[in-house]
Amino acid sequence: MRNNFSLALKKLNLKITPKRLAILEILMKESVFLGPEEIWKKLRTRFKKIGLPTVYRNLEELAEGNIISKINHPNRQLYYYLCPNQSPHHHFICLSCHKVEDINFCILKELEEEVINNIRGKVLSHILQINGLCKECFKERKNGL
């Protein structure tokens, strides 16, 4: 996987730096979305010198290059997620525990058809995200915990 990352970074003309790889490794281990500050804290256990702006910058570049995906959180802060699933799909995020799960369909085709036929414009990007409570968090809330 480290090799895949290196390859992906090469393709984007991003240098393969230890910190960049560490950010990807941290994200890869997680099934929840993480914010820049959380990632920074984890990085600081491995690097004695690492600035928060470096984390912000790298996350932005990686998202720009579609290696990681940005989460649309209601609190409007930045969160990122590295999805192992390569096929086009969308995400369910748990607002309680931050777990990300795949929604196994992508509506891009239908959307583009609609936009071409009715709006006669061009699609540049689309957001589809479901916010809710995962199985475990929903159960807990039902039980009043």
Partner DNA sequence: AATTAAATAAAAATCATTTCTATTTAACAC
Partner DNA sequence: GTGTTAAATAGAAATGATTTTTATTTAATT
Q: Are 59 and 36 in contact (CB under 8 A)?
A: yes
Q: Return the closest-CA partner of residue 43 out of 31, 59, 67.
A: 59
Contact flags string 55-94 toward DNA, x per CB under 7 A: -xxx-x----------------xx----------------
Q: Return the closest-CA partner of residue 12 out of 61, 45, 56.
A: 61
Query: Any residues with CB less than 8 A from the CB of 70 and at least 6 apart, and which?
Result: 63, 78, 79, 80
Q: How far apart are CA 117 and CA 111, in angstroms?
A: 10
Pick the piece of the chain touching its own copies (CB under 8 A) from 24-32, 34-42, 59-67, 111-119: 111-119
Question: Is residue 36 a contact residue for DNA (CB under 7 A)?
Answer: yes
Determine which residue in the list 22, 52, 106, 137 makes contact with Zn ion, applying CB under 5 A.
137
Question: Is residue 83 a contact residue for Zn ion (CB under 5 A)?
Answer: yes
Q: In the range 64-103, which residues lie near its own copies by CB under 8 A? A: 72, 74, 76, 92, 94-95, 101, 103
Question: Is residue 134 a contact residue for Zn ion (CB under 5 A)?
Answer: yes
Q: Closest distance between DNA and the C-beta of residue 68, in Å?
A: 14
Residue 113, token pair as written in the block: 């058809």
Q: DSSP labels for 91-113?
A: EEEETTT-BEEEE----HHHHHH
Which residues here bind its own copies, judged by CB under 8 A? Answer: 72, 74, 76, 92, 94-95, 101, 103-105, 107, 110-111, 114-115, 118-135, 137-138
Which residues here bind Zn ion, judged by CB under 5 A? Answer: 83, 85, 94, 96-97, 99, 102, 134, 137
